Chains A and B, each alone.
Chain A
């Protein structure tokens, strides 16, 4: 089990506003500035991860630590023999801010919700870049990120991934009976790694592969 702290890059205000169903106005910019200032110092950037081997036949996927069935993952990771499974969180601080304003200022709660989403996505993107740099030397390249619940990938995998990575002990992610994670801004995902010397058509991808996902009305779809 490997534990890393990943650096955030700058906040993408456009993304935050998109998650908050909003566009720029003076008042909204002011609200966002206030929230960004208050958020400072309240974020973690913890990731715990592990390598895996995978074999796939007729969408039956055999990871070195568990098995599952998923056509969409099989398609997305086609040709990958190895990969990385990870859990990431920006910590409980953002949940505290959301909870703080939930009752007294829903507009701020909404903004923190959006900021949290943008930050955890930023963390995952930067972690993927980190993996990319770590594995480039041995000729492996990431081909996308896939979380339980995307496409037809079973959300129940959370119950396997989190204990496997000791995510509760190491970075404080717990799971409730409805498979919701706390802290709420946490992500588990697989990153497929492809052998760059054996395939020529691969292009490195970052973040979500929205085109391969079937949720067409997803708020986060790009």
Chain B
């Protein structure tokens, strides 16, 4: 009781100034390394340093005090690895409470008369997030929330999230910190020698992400010495409108005997740090290898320096987990193809939850050279929130382009913004109060640049002046929510010239006025201009060029349109943008190539041509031939007389070792492409159902190539595959089997450590359900092992699983 009381008193009596307030007019000196000093004090290998908060508090306190005495304004608590994945709830609480108390005690005891703060230190959780690791985004958020809440309760003055080398985990930590407390928040990432995070993220993409999330300072620490991180820090300074923190290592570690040395000495370190402070760094300290004496010299060296004011950068930027797209003079292309409007196939794909179809649209547009992908998956009869979140997650794994989240449903928007790995483009707000009140708070919380349509409760103004006035209204409302004008991109709305010949002119003059007088970027959905007109591509391209010449920043457009892309590339070449001429030529060259391809296809003999295309694994050829055949032939007939026999030939070749696994797969992919065409063109193609099979990679296992191969082949042979993905709980498999009344479950496991979950799953299925067979496969399994864990069948490869499924009556 007294201990807690003491901590509480500390909280309320010692907090003199808010750290944010201090940063406004001061350079903040933070502390140096902790781990290396603990090792020097005898911390044995294998002992978690955080436990010393409880076992040897005096050692930790002395280190903190030494830093304060040396001139640090801020120390970070000894809680780098203190998280719920490593410690039980009770121990975690004890460790964090002790850590904060120790640091606050050191603050009181220090002889320094400087302003002093205690920051709750948070490091990575040690698990990679999905889809590459096993940790769910929300589980990570909850883990971080626990740490932050405890730290706040214990009386920390600020929170520092540091040494993060993955952008997505950084986002999880920041979202947690913002939701769990109101303390000042500093975020620092560990960049590698190539100037990026280990997750591949560039510094400017991190600035976009972190500023968007509303942190109070951002920067980098650890990994390298100050000289080698210079470029990273300077890129951060170039883009950041908030204070930048810099805490490098004392160079690289060298171990001689049992002692670790670092190769950058105090003078070299201080000289380099002072340089960066003169360039604008506002929080300076050290990481591994730096000691109180480094910090003392640094503090002395900068004591007379005036802080460089933190300037607002007027940069409009969105980001993915890899890099950022900056809206500037060069036109930005936003691919519009992930959208069901007016697309029969796409609608069907959404209803069927055909994610690969949607992903392919993403990949194809990426290959066409767009910079951002619009994602709209709204359809009356589907759960848009669930679908949008799912598609965004999946797209993040197949493209490194930033996404434009496009939905009218604020719930779906929030869910997608939350799990998006970067700073998204938001499509859209408009001048209606209700819409602004629902979207702007989300932008404030998660970050984003917003497309703002110049319409309001009274509709779309007929004049450019009217649209301009709505733009002004939107800007002032955004300002009320604390959203900067750089994050608003105006769309002055393209209407068809078929009904109003002035439509194009109004749109373009409104965008010019907004650009010149409000200094904002603009975007247009170009293709509306030609609605109801013949030869639409030509008109769209003309209008696009016109808008570009009037200063249009971005266009939502169809990248498969030759005319549009030609306009884009020729505009860039004419304006002399970097590489413009080269890219223009390149575009013309590659486009000729596709024209030639079509000619070859036309010469192919249809009936045997399809078989050849499937056996050779030529996806595009196979689907185009199928499509032509459908004009005259029934879909089911093509399946039975062409596709299945072709698959049988390849399957048999594979079993007899005349064909190899990649060939089998390429053929299967070609056949899938044919099925796809048939499915969308004729209802007949759907009647091949030979029964359902559940497939899953078991709990704890995150490798699923083998499972996906089996899935592809089973689907080819007419089975309905319910793919539960990887790392799947036994209970979920059981529930699905019961619900769908499934008679065959296929399980895959890669490691000896995960075969245990396979056994558990089989046991559960047999005891609680009993109506299905279980077939297993995977690298470490053998026939006898499969029998031992209770499986009905062991398949050595995917073909064997198909044969086994065929041998059962699954309907």
Contact = CB atoms under 8 A, between A and B. Distances in A.
Residue from the set A17, A22, A104, A149 with the largest chain B CB neighbour count within 10 Å: A104
B615 to A, nearest CB: 10
Given A100-B398, A182-B133, A27 B701 contact: no
B136 to A, nearest CB: 12
Interface in B672-702: 700-702
B92 to A, nearest CB: 18
Given A168-B126, A175-B126, A31 B662 contact: yes
Interface centre among B254, B260, B660 (most CB of A within 10 A): B660
B543 to A, nearest CB: 34
Interface string B118-148: 0000001011100111110000000000000
B45 A65 contact: yes
Interface string B212-240: 00000000001100000000000000000
A92 B665 CA distance: 24
A217 B260 CA distance: 43
Contacts of A180: 134, 700-703, 750-751, 753-754
Contacts of B700: 176-178, 180
A107 B798 CA distance: 13
A210 interface: no
Contacts of B132: 92, 95-96, 99, 182-184
Chain B CB within 10 Å, residue with most, of A20, A51, A182: A182
B604 interface: no
B518 interface: no
B134 A176 contact: yes
A217 B705 contact: no
Contacts of A174: 126-128, 133
A154 to B, nearest CB: 11
A199 interface: no
Nearest to B322: A96
Contacts of B400: 96
Contact of A107 (B46, B260, B662, B704): B662
Given A23-B660, A176-B702, A180-B751, A106 B199 contact: no
Given A103-B355, A104-B363, A176-B133, A182 B662 contact: no
A11 interface: no
A27 B134 contact: no
A104 B360 contact: yes
A102 B128 contact: no
A160 interface: yes
Contact of B660 (A28, A50, A183): A28
Interface string A135-161: 000000000000001000001000010
Which one of A27, A65, A103, A179 has the highest number of Cβ atoms from chain B below 10 Å of its Cβ? A103
B140 to A, nearest CB: 12
Contact of B127 (A2, A22, A155, A176): A176
A172 interface: yes
A50 B255 CA distance: 9
A168 B124 contact: yes
A171 interface: yes
Interface stretch (A75-83, A109-117, A126-134): A109-117
Interface string B240-254: 000000000000111
A106 B712 contact: yes
Given A22-B663, A23-B660, A107-B617, A99 B131 contact: yes
Contacts of A149: 752
Contacts of A20: 660-662
B282 to A, nearest CB: 25
Given A1-B253, A174-B133, A110 B709 contact: yes
B363 to A, nearest CB: 7
Given A22-B660, A23-B660, A177-B134, A107 B665 contact: yes
The residue in B128, B166, B199, B359 that gathers the most chain A C-beta atoms within 10 A of its C-beta is B128
A168 B223 CA distance: 11
A98 interface: yes
**Which of A91, A104, A178, A183 has most B Cβ within 10 Å?**
A178
A11 B495 CA distance: 55
B409 to A, nearest CB: 25
Q: Tell me whether chain A's interface is mostly helix, strand or loop, or mixed.
A: mixed
Contacts, number: 157
B697 to A, nearest CB: 11
B359 A27 contact: no
Tier of interface size on chain A:
35 or more
A198 to B, nearest CB: 23
Contacts of B703: 180, 184
B394 A103 contact: yes
Contacts of A98: 705
A34 to B, nearest CB: 11
Nearest to B616: A27
Contacts of B782: 217
B81 to A, nearest CB: 9
Which among A5, A99, A179 has the greatest number of chain B C-beta atoms within 10 A? A99
Contact of A178 (B46, B617, B753, B779): B753
Contacts of A207: none
Contacts of A109: 705, 708
Contact of B255 (A1, A25, A31, A183): A1
B779 A92 contact: no
Contacts of A169: 124, 163, 165, 190, 222-223
B356 interface: yes
A81 B754 CA distance: 34
B598 interface: no
Contacts of A172: 165-166, 198-199
- Kindly name the residue among A22, A28, A107 whose own CB sees the greatest number of chain B CB atoms within 10 A: A107
Contacts of B131: 99
A208 to B, nearest CB: 16
Nearest to A35: B662
B255 A28 contact: no
Nearest to B704: A102
Interface string B740-764: 0000000000111110010000000
A180 B222 CA distance: 26
Contact of A102 (B46, B133, B399, B705): B705
B415 interface: no
7 contacts: A20-B661, A27-B663, A28-B660, A66-B46, A98-B705, A102-B704, A103-B394
Interface of A: 1-3, 5, 17, 20-23, 25, 27-28, 31, 46, 50-51, 65-66, 91-93, 95-96, 98-107, 109-111, 113, 149, 155, 160, 164, 168-172, 174-180, 182-184, 217, 219
Given A172-B198, A176-B135, 18 more contacts: A21-B660, A27-B666, A31-B662, A50-B255, A91-B198, A92-B200, A100-B363, A101-B398, A102-B708, A104-B398, A105-B665, A106-B665, A113-B705, A155-B752, A168-B126, A169-B124, A172-B199, A176-B702
